[in-house]
Amino acid sequence: MASSPPSPIVKGFYDKRTGSIQYVVADPETKRCAIIDPVLDFDPKSGCTATRSADELLAYVEREGCDLEWILDTHPHADHFSAAAYLKQRTGARTGIGEKITEVQKLWKDLYNLPEDFPADGSQWDRTFADGERFKIGNMDVEVMFTPGHTLASIAYRTGDAAFIHDTLFMPDSGTARADFPGGSARALWRSIRRILELPDDTRLFTGHDYRPEGREPAWESTVAQQRAHNIHLTKARTEEEYVALREARDRTLPMPVLILQALQVNIRAGRLPEPETNGRRYLKIPLDALSGAAWE
């Protein structure tokens, strides 16, 4: 009889400001761990940054006696800054993201009119993972799954009975992720979702966001079986064409995330803030009318 896949220890941290979930995933045998999708706090009203969320992750890692090996992003986020650079500076752990980040860098380099010498080659991370590539967290094998649609570069990390699926599927009562960002595709997202739903029924799925419909408590873990049976978008749209029509119609009604133009210029740099200018201050650049056609609030 085949043995069951190992169960990594997973701790989720909900960021109320952005609805994001950050994860610490640990090998129960070695206590080696990875942080997935960490948040660098940013207040758009004051322009201030802080490391409270990232420091909470580090405190948990220390409290549990874990050894941090990896700082992983599933994609370049549009609604929060990545804390990957800060965590690397604090710990020396390796950083990783999907190899298609180079396509996102090229796209946004043009939108921001960044200098020619900006490296759109993924070199800001220690590793850029290809579809099907494997690496380890402690003794646990991790498989990378290319899952585009929400972004050009989106990947999921699968280890043991757990998969970290970022912005593809939300909790069943929230449906699926939007696909209208530059480089996004509802058709590609459908195919990525189908790939995730081909995993074993009892695979634990950890989503990247929760928007708490009807004010319920935050939640971020479901199973493949639960998603197949109850996801509100997938029960309405049973075919690719139905899903693409549903997703694109819904996306046309959604305003852009508050932080998309601020966040992408940080996140295509692996969470590094812009370099200080001659007065010692850092500045973010906002391209006007770059996302014209998006719904207004």
What's residue 6's pLDDT?
Answer: 72
Amino acid (one-letter) located at 166? H
Parallel/antiparallel/unpaired status of strands 140-146 and 134-137? antiparallel
Q: What is the mean pLDDT of residues 280-284?
A: 96
The percent of residues above 90 in pLDDT, for the chain, comes to 97
Q: How far is CA 44 from CA 24, 263, 275, in A?
A: 27, 10, 19
What's residue 293's pLDDT?
Answer: 86
Task: With beta carbons less than 8 A apart as the criterion, state whether 164 and 74 touch.
Answer: yes
Parallel/antiparallel/unpaired status of strands 204-207 and 221-223? antiparallel
What's residue 5's pLDDT?
Answer: 65
Residue pLDDT, tens place only, 29-61: 999 999 999 999 999 999 999 999 999 999 999
Q: What is the mean pLDDT of residues 141-166?
A: 97
**The model scores a pTM over 0.85:** yes
Tell me the pLDDT band of 297, cut-offs 50, 70 and 90.
Answer: confident
Q: What is the rounded CA–CA span in Å between residue 67 and residue 33?
A: 6
Instruction: Inform me whether the pLDDT recorded for 248 exceeds 80.
Output: yes
Q: What is the rounded CA–CA span in Å between residue 28 and residue 51?
A: 27
Tell me the pLDDT band of 155, cut-offs 50, 70 and 90.
Answer: very high
Distance of CA 37 to the CA centre of its chain: 5
What's residue 286's pLDDT?
Answer: 94
What residue ranges do the domains of the chain occupy? 9-267
What's residue 63's pLDDT?
Answer: 98
Residue pLDDT, tens place only, 185-236: 999 999 999 999 999 999 999 999 999 999 999 999 999 999 999 999 999 9
Q: Quick one: 65 exposed, middle or buried, by C-beta within 10 A (0-12, 13-18, 19+)?
A: exposed
Straight-line distance from the first to the last Cα atom of the chain, in angstroms, rounded to the nearest whole number: 56
What's residue 38's pLDDT?
Answer: 98
Please, what sign has the CA dihedral across residues 274, 277, 282, 287?
negative
The percent of residues above 70 in pLDDT, for the chain, comes to 98
Q: What is the rounded CA–CA span in Å between residue 29 and residue 140?
A: 9
Q: What is the mean pLDDT of residues 72-93?
A: 98
Tell me the pLDDT band of 2, cut-offs 50, 70 and 90.
Answer: low
Q: What is the rounded CA–CA span in Å between residue 225 and residue 223?
A: 5
Q: What is the rounded CA–CA span in Å between residue 281 and residue 232?
A: 46
The phi and psi torsions of 131 (rounded to 5 degrees) equal -55, 130
Q: Quick one: 255 exposed, middle or buried, by C-beta within 10 A (0-12, 13-18, 19+)?
A: exposed
Which CATH code is given to the segment(s) 9-267?
3.60.15.10
